[in-house]
Structures are given as structure tokens and as C-alpha cells.
Amino acid sequence: MSAAHPAPVALWQQLQQVAVVLDAVRSGRSLTPALDAVEGRLRPGVQALSFHVLRWLGRAEALRDQLARRPPPPLPDALLCSALALAWRTEDAPYEPFTLVDQAVEAAKRHPAMRAQASFVNACLRRFLRERDGLMARIAHNAVAVWNHPRWWVERLKRDHPAHWQDILRGNNTPGAMVLRVNLRRTSQANYLAELARVGLGAAALNAPPGFPASGIVLKNACAVHDLPGFADGWVSVQDHAAQMAAPLLLAGLTAPAAGRLRVLDACAAPGGKTAHLLELADADLLALDVDAVRCQRIGHNLARLGLRAEVRCADAAEPDTWWDGRPFDAVLLDAPCTASGIVRRHPDVRWLRRPTDVDQLAATQARLLNRLWPLVRPGGRLLYATCSVFKAEGDQQVETFVAHNTDARWCPSPGHLRPASGRSGGVFPDNAQGEHDGFYYALLDKLDTR
């Protein structure tokens, strides 16, 4: 007897779950666990629709305000805004707008918590289809609707990047490509590109910083990691190209002491992508710290898959008295906790989860980590400060303050603020020509020998 085929997934079923996911994000829950709670057979479609909704939520909420005197209860409101986000622009809509409206109403009718609002959802969406142009004109000057970010976020970017704030916001609303890092201890960029071609996956090579072999690859179309040749055998990892700059920046020109191998600290290491990259490029005694025990397990799993070894310890990097053995490090990577304002194109929920006060609170954490870890760097050694943020308070302003108070710190030529999905030219570490990366910040600090 042949196995039964799974029942096809109806769009209304997916829209119900998209509404649940959006309601969770609005309640302060991150997108990943919200999607993990979705039934497996529905998850791929719900994930794709949820990403689209979160990228255009500002416009959807502005349209909802035009259509309703007051929002309905949270869950039917999430359904209404999801449908508006998916249908507002026909050329980008994943389904025909009339189909989306019909299935959104069906989703409301079939959900016990939304059934009473089904007629309201239907009326709002049918009016949207009739009056689309007029409604769009009414919100044309609403900054949240135009840029699909909270107003405070837009205003901060205007202050921080007066010449580029619009480019950053546009980049945030563009899905990021899937980028790979080849494990150079197992294969080469050229050989892996050939493997991808063999299995029919289109890809292109990405540049490497001067002095380092190229290992970055961007896929034409994303795929499941287990469809990548040799993934289980540690040939390759998924890592954004901006994040791939960390290891070369920290290691460039750094030589092992006469006594033995480089001693390296990855202070906020989980999930271990940069830890692994450091070990792929250099023979080093590496200590990887993270304050979260579950995330430390992920570091261990990633290193094991890649055939790499490091000491992994669950500890607070800002409390070295609890974990440091007193021996200074040649190099420290501080990829500090931050707002994640640079990776919004991959994590579209971040913009809606963050609050204005988060920036100053996280900047204080970053300053504390810098001040606690700097004494652990040997004279002549270095520290690379990194954040996946485009906010100056977590980048240039943070480092300027640190250098002003630490006369033994020399700020070396560094990429500084990288804008999402934008190309850069010149500099010691020029950006890849394709401009395929997230927003990031890097500052390399050499420790002067003042003895």
C-alpha cells in the first residue's frame, strides 16, 4: 500500500498562523521561537509570509488606521494587518490581492478567536481593494508607512547617517541573500563552487580581505543547509559576508609569540561562526565564552561538525574574575551584544521589538565589556570590537569614548560602519564588489607597550 500524500496546505491556514506569529512579535516575542511553534507542514509558507508582513508592517498599520476608527482585538488585527501588508502592492504580492482578501476572511471565519470579527475584516479589506489609490495617497507622507520602521529608528538614522539613512532603510527592506563561508581546512572556494555547480546550485565568489584566501560564496537562491554539498562533513558554514571580516581583521599581521601558539579569546562567541572562522585561518589556543549555556552547546556542535577544537566555557565575559587564569591574550574578539540594527533584512522582527531605550542600555553593556576585557590583552596584542549595528552609539561613538580614556589603545585602520547591502570603496579592507552583506561595525584596537 502506497504512503498517503500529505494534504495540501490552504492559504487561509497559513494566514491564521501568520496572524498568530505577528501577534507574538507584537507582544515582544522574537520571530524565531514564534515560527518554531508553527506546525511543521505549515512552517515554510508561514515563514515566507511572515517575513514579508514584517517588512511592510508600518504601511499595513497606517492603512489599517485609515480603514478602522479603532483597531479590533489583537489577533484579528494581526490578521487584518497581515493581509494588508501582503496585498498593498500588486507587483510584490505573493498572491493576487483578491485571493488574499478572500482567504484572510476565510481564516477569520475558521478561527474561534477571530470568528466574531470576520465581517469587520471583510469590510476593511474589500474597502481597501476599492479605494487603494486614495488610501495610499493619504499615508504618502507618513514616515513609518513609507520606511516601515518605527519613527524613532528613522530619526536616529537621519542623525547618525545623514547622507545614507535612506539607503540603509531600503537595504533593511530587501531580503538578504544566503552567503556561505568555505572551511579552508577541508576544501577551497574554487572547489566548492564546482561542487555547487555539480548539484545545480547557482553561486558566485566573494572577495576576501588582502592577504587572506577567499572563502565567501553567495548563492543565487537560498536552500536548506542539508542540501549543501558536504555540509554535514564540515565543508561549509552559513555566515554573512560582513561577519566573515572579523577573523581576518583580528588575525592580519599577528604572529604567534616565541613561546608557542596564539592565545585568542572570543568573548561573546555563540553560536560560534566567528570562533570557527578564526580556527579555520590560524592555529590558536582559543577560549570561547558565552553567558548562555544552551548557546554554548551550539558552539560545541558547530565546531564538531567543522572538525575544529576550542575551549568553550559558559561565563560572563564582563566578569573575568570568574573565568580568567591570569594569562594575557594575544587577540580578543569582542562581538558585543547590540540592537542588531544592522541585520534587519534577515531578522525583520528586530525593528518592531526594539525600543529607543535599548540603544543606551546596550551601549552601557558594550562599554563595560570593553573596559573589563582590555586589561586582558597583552602589550603588543589587539582587540577587535564588533557589533551588528548601524547606530553610532554602538560604533564610532563607543570607540571614540574608549580610546579617549585609554591612552594605550591605538585605533587602527578599520572598516567602521558597514551599511546593509551596500558597496564600499577604498580603505584597508575594501568591501566585496557585489555589496552583499549586512550592516556591521568594526574597530581594531592595538595595545601599545607603555612599559
CB 125 within 8 A of CB 84: yes
CB 234 within 8 A of CB 186: yes
Look-up: residue for cell 567602521?
Answer: 416
Q: What are the residue ranges of helices labelled H in 27-117?
A: 31-36, 43-55, 57-67, 74-87, 97-109
Q: Which of 124, 268, 338, 388 is catalytic?
A: 388
DSSP string, 98-163: HHHHHHHHHHHHT-TTTGGGHHHHHHHHHHHHHHHHHHHHHTTT-HHHHH-S-HHHHHHHHHH-TT
Query: For this structure, is 388 an active site residue?
Result: yes
* Number of neighbours of residue 186 by Cβ within 10 angstroms: 16
Q: Is 18 exposed, middle or buried (0-12, 13-18, 19+ CB in 10 A)?
A: buried
**How far apart are the C-alpha atoms of 362 and 244, rounded to whole Å?**
23
**How far apart are the C-alpha atoms of 284 and 183, rounded to whole Å?**
16
**How far apart are the C-alpha atoms of 334 and 442, rounded to whole Å?**
10
- Please identify every residue annotated as catalytic: 388
